[in-house]
């Protein structure tokens, strides 16, 4: 550097941490209700490692009934928004998600609800 023929070698190392989300509670069991009555509950989505804002999308399961009809008995709402944001202390803010179930037909199921960020994680 500055006309000095000495060579300098710099070694950099680091760990790449992929962002992730955790849920509280980690699984959800909704109580049986009469037909066409809504049941709902709230879950906390706890993002970790997001360095920039990202929006959470939800993929809800569709169910095929015995007669061939398809229904989507679940719905979700984010009362405070779906964006993962970074706090001033460098942590991600928790999101609240309301999950509802209503069906006019009798169903019993075990399904996954997928939460996906903008980068398809």
Model pLDDT, residue 55: 94
Alpha-carbon distance of 72 to 8, in angstroms, equals 62
> What are residue 86's DSSP bridge partners?
92
Q: 85 lies in a domain? A: yes
Q: 79 lies in a domain? A: yes
Q: 40 lies in a domain? A: yes
Confidence of residue 121 (pLDDT cuts 50, 70, 90): confident
Q: What count of other Cβ atoms lies within 10 Å of the Cβ of residue 14?
A: 5
In this structure, what are the phi and psi dihedrals at residue 108, rounded to the nearest 5 degrees? -135, 130
Tokens 């989505």 sit at which residue?
45
Contact 79, 44 (CB under 8 A): no
Q: 14 lies in a domain? A: no
CA angle 115, 35, 99 (to 5 degrees): 20
The structural domain count of the chain equals: 1
Which range of residues forms the domain containing residue 27?
Answer: 20-116
Q: 6 lies in a domain? A: no
Here the CATH number for the domain that contains residue 27 is: 2.60.40
pTM for the model stands at 0.79
Q: How does pLDDT run across 50-73, given as a tens digit for each residue?
A: 988 899 999 999 998 889 999 999
Q: 55 lies in a domain? A: yes
Contact 85, 92 (CB under 8 A): yes
């Amino acid at each position: 550097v500055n006309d000095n023929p000495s060579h300098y070698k710099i070694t950099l190392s680091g760990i790449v941490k992929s962002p992730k989300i955790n849920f509280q509670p980690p699984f959800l069991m909704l109580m049986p209700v009469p037909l066409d009555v809504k049941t709902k509950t709230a879950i906390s989505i706890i993002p970790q490692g997001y360095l920039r804002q990202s929006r959470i999308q939800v993929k809800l399961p569709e169910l095929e009934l015995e007669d061939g009809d398809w229904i989507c008995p679940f719905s979700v709402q984010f009362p405070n928004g779906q964006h993962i944001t970074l706090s001033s202390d460098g942590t991600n803010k928790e999101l609240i998600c309301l999950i509802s179930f209503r069906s006019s037909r009798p169903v019993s199921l075990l399904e996954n609800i997928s939460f996906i960020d903008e980068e398809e994680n």
